[in-house]
Amino acid sequence: MKITKVEPFVLQVPLKRDVSDALDTNPFWGVPGCLIHTDEGIVGTGYTGTYSWGDECFADIIGTHFAEVLIGEDPTEIKRLWDKLHWSNLHWVGRAGMVSMAHAAVDIALWDITAKAAGLPLHRMLGSHKPEGVPVYNTDAGWLNWTKEELVEDMGRLLEEGWTHLKMKVGHDDIRIDIDRVHYVREHLGGDFTLMVDANQKWNLQKAAAFAQAIEDLDIYWFEEPCHPDDVRSHVELARRTSIPLALGENVYSKFAFRDYLVSGAIQFVQADCTRLSGITEWLQVAGMAACYDTAVVPHHGDFAQVQQHLVAATPNAEMMEYIPWLLDVFVEPMNYKDGVLVLPETPGASTDFDPDAFAKYRIH
């Protein structure tokens, strides 16, 4: 099989309502990626995720620079092509950021082609470990721009629907606001559900430690992205000052950076994202490394779980999936769950095929 065409695209999908975390407020989710065509008629789809910032740049990286590397190659030689793309001319201007995320889109499309050619859903091609699914947690009721009354109302609605694991955003400049919000949620919704908090890398060590110490008795399952994701030292010190387990990874770009976190012992949950790392190939390396440190993988959701549901199902040390229902209507087979547990797809491929009408409607490039 040979690659005949690499077709970049950019989708911008409007959100039903504006949501905020400690870093961003945006009415759109950006989905830059590519369709990779082959001489056997199989088309692979891969994409990454943005808040629509810089989306047009991805089309150029993929359509101009990466296409040159890929045309004529065998798409099933994924790991050889990973090296070729990683060490392409763009290495000089970006081992991380847009280059890594564009590489992710290409790598995902190659795995999609290979699974389709094998006639298997990706999780079976990788060797399923949890074909019966994994628990799903919900992030979509805990946004920073909700008042605390809205938080309780929206999170309470999810609990009534049967969700048992919820995450809420924190990260105000004044940590007293967040300390009050987390206490308010526990006071009004009780302790009979699993609660995570996420500061989206907003705080320094002093603020993160003071916040963590003020919510120590609220049974918090993890404290996510407390500080800058490159700052291993602060996370090591923070882990020393709090009993709440730390989680991060959605802004970590390489297996080497994850290695340093694992060696440090600072984190107990690895939130690797195959749309931020350079694709599935590097994600699998990180997950294997985390297993060597007996550390759970709970991926971040830049792909809205379409791809990572397969990876989680094929990873012994993967624990849980995130759920944010922003993109469900753009895929042919959107991720699905029943009674709080992921229901895995059995269609060949990586579940990245877009619904043609939605693709045409949201495509801006």
| Residue 112 or 224 having the CB closest to Mg ion | 224
Contact predicate 223/182, CB 8 Å: no
DSSP string, 87-154: TSGGGGT-SSTHHHHHHHHHHHHHHHHHHHHHTSBHHHHT--S-TT--BEEE-TT--TTS-HHHHHHH
Number of other CB atoms surrounding residue 207 within 10 Å: 19
Cα–Cα distance for residue pair 360/188, rounded to 1 Å? 44
Contact predicate 299/317, CB 8 Å: no
**Residue 317 CB, nearest distance to Mg ion (Å)?**
20
Is residue 36 helix, strand or coil?
strand
Cα–Cα distance for residue pair 209/216, rounded to 1 Å? 10
Binding mask 337-356 for Mg ion (x = CB under 5 A): --------------------
**Residue 21 CB, nearest distance to Mg ion (Å)?**
7
**Residue 197 CB, nearest distance to Mg ion (Å)?**
10
| Residue 69 or 327 having the CB closest to Mg ion | 327
Cα–Cα distance for residue pair 350/310, rounded to 1 Å? 7
Contact predicate 52/12, CB 8 Å: yes
**Residue 300 CB, nearest distance to Mg ion (Å)?**
6
**Residue 332 CB, nearest distance to Mg ion (Å)?**
27
| Residue 116 or 167 having the CB closest to Mg ion | 167
Site for Mg ion (CB under 5 A): how many residues?
2
Contact predicate 223/247, CB 8 Å: yes
**Residue 59 CB, nearest distance to Mg ion (Å)?**
26
| Residue 222 or 337 having the CB closest to Mg ion | 222
**Residue 49 CB, nearest distance to Mg ion (Å)?**
12
Residues 219-248 that bind Mg ion (CB under 5 A): 224
| Residue 113 or 286 having the CB closest to Mg ion | 286
**Residue 359 CB, nearest distance to Mg ion (Å)?**
27
Residue listed under structure tokens 């939130």:
271
Cα–Cα distance for residue pair 159/165, rounded to 1 Å? 9
Could you tell me which of 292, 285, 299, 316 has the C-alpha nearest to residue 129? 316
| Residue 116 or 202 having the CB closest to Mg ion | 202
Q: What are phi and psi of 296, to 5 degrees?
A: -75, 145
Residues 33-62 that bind Mg ion (CB under 5 A): none
| Residue 103 or 301 having the CB closest to Mg ion | 301
| Residue 20 or 88 having the CB closest to Mg ion | 20
Cα–Cα distance for residue pair 35/356, rounded to 1 Å? 13
Cα–Cα distance for residue pair 226/16, rounded to 1 Å? 28
Q: In terms of C-beta density within 10 A (0-12 exposed, 13-18 middle, 19 or more buried), how is residue 85 classed?
A: buried
**Residue 356 CB, nearest distance to Mg ion (Å)?**
31
Binding mask 168-207 for Mg ion (x = CB under 5 A): ------------------------------x---------
Q: Does the footprint of Mg ion cover residue 322 (CB under 5 A)?
A: no
| Residue 178 or 198 having the CB closest to Mg ion | 198
Q: Cβ-closest residue to Mg ion?
A: 198
Binding site for Mg ion (CB under 5 A): 198, 224
